[in-house]
């Protein structure tokens, strides 16, 4: 037998708790995987948005503010 004693632990309702080391290892690996996938999706979205802005928007916008001398006549009654 091993030198470690296996002590079964119970929750507040009397249910036996699973071995904590196995649960933590599985939860940690799933958490790391989800974190990596989330980061990859985020950066892919950032690169896509920046590339779309570079492609579709010109560097010098065609927004012209008219001078004060160029005022269209107002229609009055």
Residue 44 is assigned to a structural domain of this protein: yes
Low-confidence ranges of the chain (pLDDT < 50): 1
What is the pLDDT, as a whole number, of residue 43? 97
Range of the domain at 43: 19-56
Quick check: helix, strand or coil at residue 10? strand
Residue 73 is assigned to a structural domain of this protein: no
Count of domains for the chain: 1
What is the pLDDT, as a whole number, of residue 61? 63
Residue 48 is assigned to a structural domain of this protein: yes
Q: CA-CA distance, 60 to 32, in Å (whole number)?
A: 43
What is the pLDDT, as a whole number, of residue 1? 46
Residue 75 is assigned to a structural domain of this protein: no
What is the pLDDT, as a whole number, of residue 54? 87
Greatest alpha-carbon span in the chain: 105
């Amino acid at each position: 037998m091993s030198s470690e004693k296996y002590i079964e632990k119970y929750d507040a309702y009397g249910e036996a708790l699973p071995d904590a080391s196995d649960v933590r290892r599985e939860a940690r690996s799933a958490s790391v995987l989800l974190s990596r996938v989330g980061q990859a999706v985020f950066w892919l979205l950032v690169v896509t948005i920046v590339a779309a802005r570079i492609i579709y928007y010109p560097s010098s916008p065609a927004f012209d503010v008219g001078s004060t001398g160029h005022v269209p006549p107002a229609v009055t009654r």
